[in-house]
Amino acid sequence: MKALEIGNLNGIFILIIIIMIGPPILLTLIGFGVKKSNPNAAKVLFILAAVYLLVGLGICGSLMI
């Protein structure tokens, strides 16, 4: 198994990618679910997802280089 080799950082790389992209996807899905009943809350969730994605890709993405 190459995933368990000493010095292999693929698992950490995948974990960082999930942390960067997972919450914005979740917030967007929740926003679409809430949009019908509460459009203002959905708008806030969409904005939070966009900000999280920009900050996550900007800071975490620059640290991975």
Q: What does the pLDDT look like over 21-44, one tens digit per residue?
A: 999 999 999 999 999 999 999 999
pLDDT of res. 56 = 83
- The residue written with tokens 């800071």 in the block is 59
pLDDT of res. 65 = 59
Work out the number of other CB atoms within 10 angstroms of the CB of residue 41.
13
Domain extents for the chain?
Answer: 39-64
Four-CA torsion 50, 53, 56, 57, nearest 10 degrees: -120
Pairwise pLDDT comparison (29 vs 11), residue with the higher score? 29
Q: pTM for this structure?
A: 0.76
